[in-house]
Structure 1
Amino acid sequence: MAVKLRLQRHGKKGKPLYWIVAADARSKRDGKFLEKLGLYNPNHNPAIIELDVDGAVKWLQNGAQPTDTARAILSYKGALLKNHLAGGVKKGALTEEEAEKKFQAWLDEKAAKVEAKKDGLSKADAEAKAKALEAEKAVNEARIAAAAPVVEEEVAEETEASNEEE
């Protein structure tokens, strides 16, 4: 039985939510699966990905083949790196502690990159809001300035009319 690591679509129309599953290659896209490994929500920026890395590594070591999108997600979360390091431990190229240390260093670096992206997005959001506020203020000031001469003319006409009456 050929096993694939793939995405199973859930959610409503226009708002997809995917489960990352290990499934028989012959089963339907949203059909039976062997194990649910995680969740992928592309509706947020950056996308929300929850993955059981150890479970994914177990399936990869047992011969499961990820689809292209699943491979990208597994690579992003470090499952492929952990599988690679486990292969090195099996061959005796490095110890279990060294492999765990390398994986942890990679995770820390990845977390810093994601955090930097989130900060950049929030800064860009704040700048866009500030620019929109400034533009709105300029429009409001222009509108007030355009309305002010009309009011001054009416006041001037009223004072002239009252002066003539006296």
Structure 2
Amino acid sequence: MATKIRLQRHGKKGKAFYYIVVADARAPRDGRFIERLGSYNPNTNPATINIDFDKTLDWVTTGAQPTDTCRAILGYKGVMYKKHLQGGVKKGALTQEQADAKFAEWTEQKENKISGKTTSLSTAKSDARKTALAAEAKKNADRAAAIVAKNTPPVAEPVAEETTEETTPAE
């Protein structure tokens, strides 16, 4: 039986989230599945991915073929890299300790990259909120000034009388 690791759609229109499942290749997209491995929510930024790493690695090593999107998700979480390193250990190119060290280093870099993105997104969001509040405060001040100008009665300025000095003929 050919097994696939693929996405099973859930949620409502426009707000889809997905279960990552192992299913027979002949089963319908949202139909029967063998095992649920995790979930994927693309509506958050960055996308939320929860998978059972060990189960997924076991399925990938036993021959389950991920779809293109699932392959990208599993690569993002490190399952495909771990499988690659395990292949190197089986062939004798690496020792298990070297493979574990490489995977730990890769995981640390990935976590730093993700945390950097989340902090940059949160700072950008807070900066945008501050500028929007400043613009709103300026607009409210301008509006208040316009109302005050409209409601104050016009001040009648006294008309200055021009005094003309009579010129006397010079003697």
SS at match of 1:93: coil
Shift of 1:84: 0.2
The residue identity in structure 2 corresponding to 1:142 is D
Whole-Å Cα distance in 2 between the matches of residues 83 and 132 of structure 1? 48
**Aligned twin of 1:124:** 124
Q: Deviations over 1:22-81 (max 9, x none)?
A: 111000101111111111011111111011222222112111111110011000000000
In the other structure, the counterpart of 2:28 is 28
Quote the Cα distance in structure 1 between the aligned partners of 2:117 and 2:102: 23
> Relative to total residues, which structure has the larger helix share, 1 or 2?
1
- Alignment partners' CA distance in 2, 1:11 and 1:20: 14
Q: How does 1:34-53 map to 2 (within 5 A)?
A: 34-53=34-53
Q: In structure 2, how many angstroms separate the alpha carbons of the residues matched to 1:96 and 1:52? A: 21
> Per-residue deviation at 1:19?
0.7
- Aligned-partner Cα distance in 2 for 1:53–1:112: 19
Stretches of structure 2 that go unaligned for 5 or more consecutive residues are: 157-171
Q: Which residue of 2 aligns with 1:8?
A: 8
What is the aligned-residue identity percentage? 54
Larger deviation, residues 58-67 vs 119-128: 58-67
Q: 2:113 — aligned with what?
A: 113
Amino acid paired to 2:129: K
User: For the residues of structure 1 that align with 2:95 and 2:75, how far apart are their CA atoms?
Assistant: 22
Note the aligned Cα RMSD (angstroms): 1.3
Q: Which amino acid in the other structure matches residue 123 of structure 1?
A: T
Taking structure 1 as the reference length, what is the TM-score of the superposition? 0.89
Runs ≥4 in structure 1, deviation > 4 angstroms?
none
Total equivalences in the alignment? 156
Instruction: State the AA in 2 paired with 1:143.
Output: R
Distance in 2 between residues matched to 1:77 and 1:108, nearest whole Å: 12
TM-score scaled by length of structure 2:
0.86
User: Is 2:103 aligned against 1:100?
Assistant: no
Quick one: which amino acid aligns to residue 104 of structure 1? A
Q: Does 1:139 align with 2:101?
A: no
Greater Cα radius of gyration, structure 1 or 2: 2
Q: Could you say which residue in structure 1 is the equivalent of 2:19?
A: 19
